[in-house]
Amino acid sequence: MERQALRNQKGEVEFRRLLVRQQVEGAQIFSDELDAREMMRVLGKRMEDTAAHIRAVANQGVTLAPYLEIGAERGQRSLVMENDLGAHGAAADISFDMLSSAAHWARAFARPQLPLRVCCDIYNLPFRSDSLPFVFCYETLHHFPDPAPVLAEVRRVLAPAGTFFFEEEPFRRALRQKLFRTPKSVPAGAGVLTRLLHALVRFFSEPAYNEVSYGIIENHSISIGAWRAALGVFDERDATLSSLKGRFRSRLYGFANPFTVTINFLVGGSVGGQCRKRGAPGRAAARIEDALACPLCLRQGAENPVREQVDAFVCPKCGTSYPVREGVVFLLVPAKLAELYPELSPAAAVSS
């Protein structure tokens, strides 16, 4: 299974640092990325959608806390969990700058309760196996060449009887011809005709993403079959394919209308749903802090807890200290921390 390379992770860190400068600090860096005002509007809509989605999940009897959001970016969805739904958990991302900006958005949206923010590697989630009753993500899994190893790690940390919820992940459209590049979105306020033409042109083009120039993966070529295989790691799966803004929907597993499936296959769209891990409930951690595990020990096959101290979390077993900056804990193995955030590595501290 192909994995995200170090250069891709470095791209995530660099590009998202620049986005924070533009959308929080007001710098003008990208002409085709949202500014602070536009970001407020977009995040507000995302928060509304998240509240509706997660409430529907909770109404099915799913335990929401402690939760883990992977690919949390600015943490806006975790702010909904903490403030609107009363669930405490963790927002995880590889971008420290995005996670740090959650404090800004918490003030902007009057959502004062912050999640535990964890800067980590998704391939080595710093949580004990079988410890989390609820894991979720939006628009995250397509930033990897193959979602399968990410989902395998999600299943590892998911508690027995736990639920994984995901939404807004793209699947490949068979009709697309990559003849040229087009803007990834139409300008705000564009008319109906402009939006229609943009949608039609995208059948013959490939969107131009600023992220890609920094090394970030934008994998919109994951086939329906690949999604079926990757999600097969879970014991129970309930996922839906959606095309043309929800006009055509079909089940990813089980019987589905052949006509709708054909439309999905040809024009592409997004996939989302819920997956579950079988087993008797009761093994989940009581608090998100109790679920934390030393990432270095995890790499070596042991699941040892980390304990919070002043400005750091420390593993009592191996002695590794993981720094905390602006409320974000860096639970990356020391070698990865030195590569992605050299200013925080022990060597940098000694030299300074």
pLDDT digits (tens, 9 = 90+) for 54-107: 999 999 999 999 999 999 999 999 999 999 999 999 999 999 999 999 999 999
- Which conformational region is residue 245 in: left (phi greater than 0), alpha (psi within -120 to 50 degrees), or beta? left
My answer on whether 149 and 194 are in the same domain is yes
Phi then psi dihedrals of residue 42, to 5 deg: -65, -45
My answer on whether 278 and 314 are in the same domain is no
52: domain CATH number? 3.40.50.150
Q: Amino acid identity, residue 5?
A: A
Q: What is the predicted pLDDT for the residue at 193?
A: 66
Strands (E), 172-305: 180-183, 205-208, 236-243, 248-251, 269-276
Which residue, 241, 269, 292, sits at the end of a domain?
Answer: 292
Q: How far apart are the C-alpha atoms of 62 and 329, rounded to whole Å?
A: 28
Residue 297 belongs to some domain of the structure: no
Structural domain boundaries, residue 319? 302-352
My answer on whether 352 and 238 are in the same domain is no
Q: How far apart are the C-alpha atoms of 135 and 130, rounded to whole Å?
A: 11
Residue 325 belongs to some domain of the structure: yes
Residue 264 has which token pair? 């999905």
My answer on whether 33 and 70 are in the same domain is yes
My answer on whether 325 and 250 are in the same domain is no
Residue 18 belongs to some domain of the structure: yes
Answer yes or no: are the C-beta atoms of 204 and 177 closer than 8 Å: yes
150: nearest Cα among 169, 131, 125: 125
Q: What is the pLDDT of residues 31-51, one digit of tens each?
A: 889 999 999 999 999 999 999
pTM above 0.85, yes or no: yes
In this prediction, residues 307-313 reach a mean pLDDT of 94
DSSP assigned state of 114: P
My answer on whether 203 and 258 are in the same domain is yes
Residue 1 belongs to some domain of the structure: no
Phi then psi dihedrals of residue 288, to 5 deg: -60, -35
My answer on whether 59 and 171 are in the same domain is yes
Residue 45 belongs to some domain of the structure: yes
Q: What is the pLDDT of residues 283-297, one digit of tens each?
A: 899 999 999 999 999
Q: How far apart are the C-alpha atoms of 90 and 81, rounded to whole Å?
A: 10
Answer yes or no: are the C-beta atoms of 284 and 251 closer than 8 Å: no
Q: How far apart are the C-alpha atoms of 99 and 109, rounded to whole Å?
A: 16
How far lies 100's CA from each of 46, 194, 201, in Å? 19, 36, 37
Residue 178 belongs to some domain of the structure: yes
Sign of CA dihedral 277, 279, 280, 283: negative
Q: How far apart are the C-alpha atoms of 295 and 282, rounded to whole Å?
A: 24
My answer on whether 187 and 209 are in the same domain is yes
My answer on whether 168 and 196 are in the same domain is yes
Which residue, 292, 314, 334, sits at the end of a domain?
Answer: 292
Residue 318 has which token pair? 């191996």
My answer on whether 154 and 257 are in the same domain is yes
pLDDT-derived band of residue 282, with 50, 70 and 90 as boundaries?
A: confident
My answer on whether 317 and 272 are in the same domain is no
Q: How far apart are the C-alpha atoms of 132 and 107, rounded to whole Å?
A: 28
Which residue, 245, 270, 292, sits at the end of a domain?
Answer: 292
Residue 55 belongs to some domain of the structure: yes
Give me the number of domains the chain comprises.
2
CB atoms under 10 Å from CB of 73, counted, come to 26
My answer on whether 95 and 117 are in the same domain is yes
